[in-house]
């Protein structure tokens, strides 16, 4: 077993959504799915979560079939159950019932040998919001560059 840290990031989430809150959830996985994730074969792009019938479900989480798997190998994009406390599920259900809020997986990682997903309660950004973020990032970068040149001169 390798000691390197395995982390799956959803880089588009921060660009497309404003993250209002986040929750750590376990994921119900099959054996070949865990092995495939440990090999770095998972992707959170286009993944999302929903609360249905009192349970939290993760959709479009792509885990490539395990190379050394047999006929018992898993389906790549099957729906997986998220493991959360009842109070968290109830709170997320109330929040997502309001228009404009979504559950987006932000990051996947192993914690104490168990695979966890960081779920973000998010609101979609408009084009204007995205433009403002880009403009702010550019201004911050320019300020940082200017301050570093001032330090070099003195």
Q: Taking all residues of the chain, what is their mean pLDDT, rounded to a whole number? A: 85
- pLDDT band at 1, cuts 50/70/90? very low
What would the pLDDT profile of 70-85 be if each residue is shown by its tens digit?
666 767 788 999 999 9
Q: What is the pLDDT of residue 153?
A: 66
Task: Please give the full DSSP string across 34-103, using - where no structure is assigned.
Answer: HHHHHTT-EE-TT-EEEEETTEEEEES-EEPPPTT--TTPPPTT--EEEE--HHHHHHHHHHHHSTTEEE
Q: What is the pLDDT of residue 25?
A: 94
Rounded Cα distance, 154 and 141, in Å: 20
Kindly list the structural domains of the chain, giving each domain's residue range(s) and its CATH number in brackets, ordered by start: 7-125 (2.40.280.10)
Global pTM reads 0.77
**62 CA to centre of own chain:** 12
- pLDDT band at 154, cuts 50/70/90? low
- Report the phi/psi class of residue 5: left, alpha or beta, with left for phi > 0 and alpha for psi in -120 to 50: beta
Q: What is the pLDDT of residue 43?
A: 87
pLDDT above 90 coverage of the chain, percent: 32
- pLDDT band at 24, cuts 50/70/90? very high
Which residues does residue 18 pair with via DSSP β-bridges, in sequence order? 123
């Amino acid at each position: 077993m390798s000691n390197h840290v395995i982390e799956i990031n959803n880089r588009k989430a921060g660009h497309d959504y404003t993250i209002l809150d986040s929750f750590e959830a376990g994921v119900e996985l099959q054996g070949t799915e865990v092995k495939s994730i440990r090999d770095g074969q998972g992707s959170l792009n286009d993944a999302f979560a929903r609360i249905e019938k009192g349970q939290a479900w993760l959709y479009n989480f792509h885990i490539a079939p395990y190379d050394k798997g047999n006929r018992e190998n898993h389906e790549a994009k099957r729906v997986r159950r998220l493991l959360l406390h009842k109070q968290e599920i109830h709170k997320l259900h109330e929040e997502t019932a309001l228009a404009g809020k979504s559950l987006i997986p932000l990051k996947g990682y192993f914690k104490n040998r168990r695979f966890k997903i960081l779920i973000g309660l998010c609101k979609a950004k408009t084009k204007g919001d995205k433009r403002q973020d880009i403009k702010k990032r550019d201004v911050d970068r320019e300020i940082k560059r200017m301050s570093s040149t001032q330090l070099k001169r003195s």
